[in-house]
Amino acid sequence: MEKLHAAERTDPDARWLTAVLHIAFCALLCSSFVRFLTHDQGGGPQRAWTVALFVTFPLLYTAGRLFAPTSPPGTLPTARHLVWLAAVTANWVVLLVQAPSATWCAMPLLFTGLHALPPRLAVPLVALLTAMVVVSEIRFSHGTLNPNMVVAPPAIAAVATAVLVHLQRQAARQRLLIDDLVRTRRDLAATERRAGVLAERQRLSAEIHDTLAQGLSSQRMLLQAAERVWRTDPAAAQDHLREATGITARNLAEARHLVQDLGPADLTDDTLPGALRALTARESRPGLTVEFRLDGTPGPLPDRVEATLLRIAQGALANVREHAAATRAALTLTCLDDRIALDVADNGRGFDPAARPHPASGRGHGLPAMRIRARQAGGTLTVESAPGEGTVVTATTPLTTEEPAP
């Protein structure tokens, strides 16, 4: 019983319609029974049988509501419901033959059939009930035949049928639209999840490239240099080892911040100019001099802007160290009213920005990662270079934390 009327409990319109049908059925049945008792002059066994039919009729109707409920909208009626509908209709037909006052009890049956059955079954049922009503009215009429007895029942049945069939079809279209909307929302959510996963992968790839990968590359170069001079110049080898140890400590701090999803470790206790100045000091070494220049006075900067520019500077200087064969590099931070720009210039061998690195080289991740960072911060990144003429990487970001348009 708990599942019989679940739709009626959850749908206010279904509860309202069901209540109206029950009230109409009870009112018409009581009215017909009273009219039968006051106007029918017969007696004996036939009258007793008619009273029994009047009693059986509401019992069958109530039993159907309890044990043969209507199916959910958009589904075929169950065999149990069809058996109940046939039984209660047969009871009414027999009752109509015995007592013409039961004519208008057909209305609740008509609406019950239309509400529960598909149109291909409901329309014939309505036609049958209407014909029975007209025949009964004509059969028991006295005197001149009233045209309303013939015209009114089909007219009322036709209007009721048209309205309810239209509502059924409209509800079916709405269910299709709702199903499409649910599928679209589900597909959109899956697409957004995939986009989020790809964005997070890009972010992690850029973080690892600009921190851990670059640090490991520097450590490898320092350890190779220490190995070369290990026997001939132990002091220089120890310097290389100490520098590699320092890079290891910084990489460990970066890894911990990366796991905790925090900003760069250099920005934990310092501003962007201080972090850039410390970066240039670390990158300066024999054969490569890196300078830092500050143009303007930076005010409080959004964390996102600071982290973006520092990561771009790390990536650009890593490219200078590994690929440019430069002897000098300059890192310039320019503060303007509504934006801030970072320039990383070197006097190295340069390259053709339009050329793509060979896939088998395992290179070419630095510049795309820097472009992604700049775009995610709402800014731009440009590269000016030519073979033999050095390289200038310029990143410009607005002084705002608003997300850029996709």
The answer to whether position 72 is within a domain reads: yes
Does residue 129 lie within any of the structural domains? yes
Residue finishing a domain among 145, 161, 185? 145
Is 390 among the domain residues? Answer: yes
Domain that holds residue 32: 6-145
Q: Tokens for 239, please give them.
A: 């310097």
- Residue located via tokens 């001939």: 232
pLDDT digits (tens, 9 = 90+) for 310-322: 889 988 988 898 8
Task: Inform me whether the pLDDT recorded for 6 exceeds 60.
Answer: no
Cα atoms found within 13 Å of the Cα of residue 4, Cβ hemisphere only = 11
Range with the lowest mean pLDDT among 7-16, 125-134, 276-285? 7-16
Distance CA 84, CA 66 (A): 11
| Residue 179 counted as domain residue | no
The answer to whether position 249 is within a domain reads: no
Burial (0-12, 13-18, 19+ Cβ within 10 Å), 305: buried
- CATH number for position 363: 3.30.565.10
Domain termination residue (choose one: 126, 145, 164): 145
Determine how many CB atoms are found less than 10 A away from the CB of residue 76. Answer: 11
Cβ(55)–Cβ(153) below 8 Å: no
pLDDT exceeding 90 applies to what percent of the chain? 12
What does the alpha-carbon distance between residue 197 and residue 248 come to, in Å, rounded to a whole number? Answer: 29
Q: Strands 289-295 and 339-346: what pairing?
A: unpaired
Q: Is the pLDDT of residue 357 over 70?
A: no
More confident residue, 35 or 258: 35
The mean pLDDT value for 112-139 works out to: 75
Statement: residue 379 has pLDDT above 70: yes
Q: What's the pTM?
A: 0.43
253: in domain: no
Mean pLDDT of the chain: 78
Q: What is the pLDDT of residue 342?
A: 94
Of 124, 145, 166, the residue at which a domain comes to its end is 145
Structure tokens at 356: 């793509």
Give the model confidence (pLDDT) of 184-226 as tens digits: 888 888 888 788 777 767 767 776 776 677 777 778 888 888 8
Is the distance from CB of 215 to CB of 315 less than 8 angstroms?
no
Q: In this structure, is residue 238 part of a structural domain?
A: no
SS in 3 state form for the chain? CCCCCHHHHHCHHHHHHHHHHHHHHHHHHHHHHHHHHHHCCCCHHHHHHHHHHHHHHHHHHHHHHHHCCCCCCCCCCCHHHHHHHHHHHHHHHHHHHHCHHHHHHHHHHHHHHHHHCCHHHHHHHHHHHHHHHHHHHHHCCCCCCCHHHHHHHHHHHHHHHHHHHHHHHHHHHHHHHHHHHHHHHHHHHHHHHHHHHHHHHHHHHHHHHHHHHHHHHHHHHHHHHHHHCCCCCHHHHHHHHHHHHHHHHHHHHHHHHHHCCCCCHHHCCCCHHHHHHHHHHHHCECCEEEEEEEECCCCCCCHHHHHHHHHHHHHHHHHHHHHHCCCEEEEEEEECCCEEEEEEEECCCCCCCCCCCCHHHCCCCHHHHHHHHHHHCCCEEEEEECCCCCEEEEEEEECCCCCCCC
Has residue 360 got a pLDDT over 60? no
Task: Determine, yes or no, domain membership for 229.
Answer: no
Quote the number of domains for the chain.
2
Strand partners, 97: none
Is the Cβ–Cβ distance between 369 and 350 less than 8 Å?
A: no
